[in-house]
Amino acid sequence: MKDCLFCKIIGGEIPSNKVYEDDMVYAFYDIEPQAPEHILIIPKKHFESIMDVTGKDFEYVDKMMQAAQKLAKEKGFEKDGFRLVFNTGRDGGQTVAHLHMHLLGGRSLQWPPG
């Protein structure tokens, strides 16, 4: 989608530090890391949030989860754990209107969130 930051990252128009890519998913390091490892996993198709995904397009979400599991294994988070987050809408603290999942790991994370 035109004027979408993450669509521009997928298209290479804006540079990013890629950690994973397949036909449906792109993953890269967050520019403002909140943990020693902070990765964003995004679908290559533009959805504003999880609320805009329907029907067959849930395959993108499936692939995002598969990428998260693969990356968590690669980063060695299986034993100590990690966190997956979808900030959604205003109250959820979503700042970029292209569906994304945060993968946070490498330290003990607090709960509940602020």
Inter-residue long-range contacts of 34-38, CB under 8 Å, 24+ positions, other chains counted: 34/102, 34/104, 35/104, 35/105, 35/106, 35/107, 35/109, 36/105, 36/106, 36/107, 37/75, 37/77, 37/82, 37/103, 37/104, 37/105, 37/106, 38/102, 38/103, 38/104
Identify which range of 14-22, 29-37, 91-99, 100-108 contacts Zn ion by CB under 5 A: 91-99
- Between CA 19 and CA 59 the distance in angstroms is 20
Is 100 a known active-site residue?
yes
Task: Map residues 28-47 to x or -, x wherever contact with ligand 5GP holds by CB under 6 A.
Answer: xxxxx-------x-------
Identify which range of 45-53, 68-76, 86-94, 104-112 contacts ligand 5GP by CB under 6 A: 86-94
Nearer to ligand 5GP, 26 or 77 (CB): 26
- Between CA 103 and CA 71 the distance in angstroms is 9
Q: Is 98 in the site for Zn ion (CB under 5 A)?
A: yes
Q: Give least dist CB 79 to ligand 5GP, A.
A: 25
Q: Is 46 in the site for Zn ion (CB under 5 A)?
A: yes
Task: Map residues 91-110 to x or -, x wherever contact with ligand 5GP holds by CB under 6 A.
Answer: --xxxx--------------
